[in-house]
Amino acid sequence: MKRKDFYQLVAPLSEKLYRHAYTLIPDDLQAEQLVVDGLNAYLLRERKKILLKEVNLEDKKEVTLQRRYHFKGILRNICDIGIRRSVHFLEQMKDMRPHGYHSFYSLEPKVRFTMSLRFDAKFTVEEIEDIIQLPRYEVIEKLHNGRFLLATDLNPGSSL
């Protein structure tokens, strides 16, 4: 596949990639840079597979499968880079939190990203396990704890 074919293949994913990057670092410019860095890291890591793989862009099923495969690979890089980068923005992130989403952005970055993958992108636990490189029980734990913390923060008097 030529590089321009690859970009044509992943171009429709840019908004989704940005949305997931924004869950890690809630700053427009930093989230955009995270997507660019994640895409570049993915291209560097998988360049041989991408260039050698021929994809028929007319076959919708093949295009969908390839998009999903590349989407998960790029998200893996965004997660790796974003988690490391979010530590440096910890103090700034307190000021960057979008109004109305304070509870969500007060969660740890890996929990936010895991919840975003599960409830926004509709990935299965197995796919999330592959993307964020955590064992299954930790993925389930992060999803459960994130939902619990959000529920108790949004409804302080209720018990689950």
Query: Reduced to 3 states, what is the DSSP secondary structure of residue 145?
Result: helix
For each of the domains in the chain, give its residue range(s) and CATH number, in order of start.
3-154 (1.20.140.160)
Distance CA 77, CA 157 (A): 39
pLDDT value, residue 158: 61
Whole-model pTM: value is: 0.86
Distance CA 160, CA 140 (A): 17
- Average of pLDDT values for 111-120? 94
- Average of pLDDT values for 5-29? 90
Say how many C-beta atoms besides its own lie within 10 A of residue 10's C-beta: 20
Q: How does the average pLDDT of the chain come out, rounded?
A: 87
* Selected residue with higher pLDDT from 101 and 64: 64
pLDDT-derived band at 93, boundaries 50, 70, 90:
low
